[in-house]
Amino acid sequence: MTATLSIVAPFLAQGGGGGSFLVTPSIGLMIWTLLAFGLTYLVLRKAAFPRIAANLDKRQKAIEDSIDTAQRTKTEAEELLAEYRERLKEARSQAEEIVARARRAGEQHEADSMADARKRREELMEQTRRDVEQETQRAIQEIRKEVADLTIMATEKVTRKSLDDDDQRRLVDEALGELDFAGLAGEARRN
């Protein structure tokens, strides 16, 4: 820089008038300006431009690496997303399968419970029918016994004598034969 000032200083002193030589340059000034420019260019080319180019290359390389890293990250993210979607699809299908199995098990359990309840109801109804039949037979036997006793008492009062066993049996059979116990049993079954 000092060399450039020493070259330009004589021109400044020569013009003497407030910088008019810059507005209307002379050939000598142009040559010196081109020389100063060339010298500056050579110095910059040797010292600054390689460093600037190296820094620009470094920066370009860093940007390219960042772009490559971003591309790899994007690719990995897309692969992970595809894998996640596949797993999600599998999880949904498994969940649907579990729900379907649970529904089938529930329906089967309900059907089994209904069948078991029907069976128990039929067993209870059959037991109740047997109990009613037994109770009806017992009641008929009691009525027969009561009728026999009443018949014997009435006959003894009418005839005013005691009947022997053969007479009692004959009278009871006649009285019981006149009664319709089958009708009583049928009425009990209908109730």
pLDDT at 8 over 70: no
Average pLDDT over residues 17-26: 65
pLDDT at 110 over 70: yes
Tell me the pLDDT band of 170, cut-offs 50, 70 and 90.
Answer: confident
pLDDT at 84: 94
pLDDT at 142: 87
Do residues 181 and 140 touch, judged by C-beta distance below 8 A?
yes
pLDDT at 150 over 90: no
pLDDT at 141 over 80: yes
Tell me the pLDDT band of 144, cut-offs 50, 70 and 90.
Answer: confident
pLDDT at 157 over 60: yes
pLDDT at 153: 76
pLDDT at 186 over 60: no
Average pLDDT score over the chain: 82
Average pLDDT over residues 127-140: 92
What is the Cα 89 distance to its own chain's centre? Answer: 12
CA distance linking residue 187 with residue 191, whole number of Å? 6
pTM here? 0.38
State the alpha helices, DSSP H only, in 44-180. 49-159, 165-178
pLDDT at 53: 92
Average pLDDT over residues 70-75: 95
Phi and psi torsions of 179, nearest 5°: -80, 145
CA distance linking residue 28 with residue 66, whole number of Å? 52
pLDDT at 185: 55
pLDDT at 76: 95
CA distance linking residue 18 with residue 46, whole number of Å? 36
CA distance linking residue 81 with residue 34, whole number of Å? 63
pLDDT at 9: 53
